[in-house]
A = this chain, B = another copy of it.
Amino acid sequence: MPPPRRRPGGRTARTRAQVLDAVLAELGEHGYDGLTMEAVAARAGVHRATVYRRWEDVGGLLADVLDAAGDDAWRPPDTGSLTGDLAALNHEIQDALTAQPPIMAALIAASFRSEKAAHAQRRLWEDRYARCEIVVSRAVRRGELPPHTDARRLLIASTAPLYHELVLLRTPPDPHLPDDAARTAALAAAAGAFAEPPSASGT
């Protein structure tokens, strides 16, 4: 007896996974300049017409890779202290930015070539900031931070130096930087740097 035919949704999901895997592989091997609809279709074993119809262009492929990356169960680390959580987060970022093949670095570089990729990258990062709000609320609950601390500003202060060094300045990775940047942000936060002004109704 032949196996039951897969439902269209299943086949569509499988095609998507094959295509996005192929995008990552091509990007890791050749970077943005080597990424073509043809190479992705061939590597995925999917008809070119399907790839064009569904993703339109290379920017569409990259945007879908980024959207798919955000469709996971990722949660921020829970180490028991604000500095520990921020440091663990920074180690994840440093690992991703220095991984081989350099997928994350290539995606960031691609965001300068494609508006669609830039928008998808922003969606992904903003979603990560939102998921990390719990790091800040836990720290407030432990009494490590003033209430009404702006989580997004704190997270950017903690993580931005890593992107600045590794992505913009392209300095070799400094093994101390994830911890140093986390400690810096936590010190500033404890000093009230990210405290939101009291609302009008609260005064």
State the A residues within 8 Å of B (CB): 108-109, 111-112, 118, 121-122, 125-126, 153, 156-157, 159-161, 163-165, 167-171, 180-181, 183-185, 187-188, 190-194
Report whether over half of chain A's contact residues are helix, strand or loop; otherwise say mixed.
Answer: helix
Asked if B169 and A165 sit within 8 Å, CB to CB, the answer is no
Q: Which residues of B contact A190 (CB under 8 A)?
A: 191
Count of this chain's copies in the oligomeric assembly: 2
- Chain B residue nearest to A153 in the complex (CB): B180
- A30 to chain B minimum Cβ distance, whole angstroms, is 14
- A126 to chain B minimum Cβ distance, whole angstroms, is 8
**Contacting A187 at CB < 8 Å: which of B163, B164, B180, B191?**
B191
Asked if A157 and B157 sit within 8 Å, CB to CB, the answer is yes
- A26 to chain B minimum Cβ distance, whole angstroms, is 17
Give 23 CB contacts A-B under 8 Å. Answer: A108-B168, A109-B112, A112-B112, A118-B170, A121-B168, A122-B169, A153-B184, A156-B164, A157-B157, A157-B184, A160-B164, A163-B164, A164-B164, A167-B168, A183-B193, A184-B193, A184-B194, A185-B188, A187-B191, A187-B192, A188-B188, A188-B191, A188-B193
Q: Which residues of B contact A192 (CB under 8 A)?
A: 187
- A193 to chain B minimum Cβ distance, whole angstroms, is 4
- Chain B residue nearest to A171 in the complex (CB): B122
Q: Give the complex CA separation of A170 and B111 in angstroms.
A: 10
Q: Which residues of B contact A165 (CB under 8 A)?
A: 156
- Chain B residue nearest to A162 in the complex (CB): B160
Name which of A121, A188, A191 has the most chain B CB atoms within 10 A of its CB.
Answer: A188
Q: Which residues of B contact A160 (CB under 8 A)?
A: 160-161, 163-164
